[in-house]
Amino acid sequence: MARVFITGSSDGLGLLAARLLIEQGHSVIAHARSEQRSEQTRTALPGADQVVIGDLSSIEQTRGLAGQVNALGGVDAVIYNAGVGPYERRRVETADGLSHVFEIDVLAPYILTALIARPRRMVYLTSGMHRGGDPALDDPQWEHRAWRGSQAYSDAKLFDLTLALAIARRWPDVRSNAVSPGWVPTKMGGAGAPDDLVQGVLTQAWLAVSDEPAALVSGGYFFHKQPQQPHPAARSPEVQDALTDYCARLSGIALPA
């Protein structure tokens, strides 16, 4: 039995992955962004061991979230599921002065990766839209460009994938992989999304806990349990180091060696 922490497990893919892992006999630590959402999460996931609380649009609260997980004794795997979609019509700034999309989709997983006691496996949710992402860090907060929500999202998903592969390179004792669930019919994807929701959930859970040889890998990018070729920038050590260095400067938190 594995112990798995899943961010953004109040609804959508995170909730479904948590239910699947609980049904398989694993222990799940769920996550909600507020006290109110935590009650909804406990109702939706009565089998969860714990529900930890923290708003990922806040560096301080994300730090606190990592502390809550560590106080529970650590985990075997983390699924970084929480994210903001491509639909924000204007640039939203967080209390930290950052782009809402960047802070939740990129900086929060970086902080949690740096601060949670190192698990054996990490799974980062990305998207096929990462292929349209720009790996440059000239203006990742969209302070100087006209806002384009879909591009900000594509960039963020490329950064998520890059972070997953950076961890695989830096920490050989951790199996770190990225998953595109596809365009699936969730609240984010919409009811008309054409991809298979079940497969999108199965893949992230499989990478988190399975002992099948195909799941015992690191540095992969998967769609429906099949390895895919990512945007080539994500495999560049220079791009990876530039991203992690940038996140370290923003958060004041260095990625452990």
Specify the CATH number for the domain of residue 65: 3.40.50.720
Which residues, in sequence order, are CB contacts of 145 under 8 Å at separation 6+? 139
**pLDDT score at 213:** 98
How much is the pLDDT for 197? 66
* Structural tokens at position 241: 């180091």
Q: Let me know if residue 190 belongs to a domain.
A: yes
Q: What is the pLDDT along the chain (257 residues), one digit of tens a residue?
A: 999 999 999 988 999 999 999 999 999 999 999 999 999 999 999 999 999 999 999 999 999 999 999 999 999 999 999 999 888 999 999 999 999 999 999 999 999 999 999 999 999 999 999 999 999 999 999 999 999 999 999 999 999 999 999 999 999 999 999 999 865 444 554 445 445 667 779 999 999 999 999 999 999 999 999 999 999 999 999 999 999 999 999 999 999 98
Which pTM was predicted? 0.94
Question: Tokens 């994210």 appear where?
Answer: 83
The predicted structure's pLDDT at residue 94:
98
Residue 232: per-residue pLDDT: 97
Q: Does residue 214 lie in a domain region?
A: yes
Supply the pLDDT for residue 199.
76
The continuous run of DSSP H or E covering 160 comes out as helix 149-170
In a domain, 216, yes or no: yes
Asked if residue 145 is part of any domain, the answer here is yes
Active-site residue list: 153, 157
Residue 257: inside a domain: no
Q: Residue 108 belongs to what H/E stretch? A: helix 108-115
Number of domains comprising the chain: 1
Examine residue 256 and state whether it is found in any structural domain, yes or no.
no
Judged on CB neighbours under 10 Å (0-12, 13-18, 19+), 192 is exposed
How many beta carbons lie within 10 A of that of residue 14, not counting itself? 26
- Provide the domain limits for residue 10: 3-251
Amino acid at 128: G
Retrieve residue 257's tokens: 């060696």
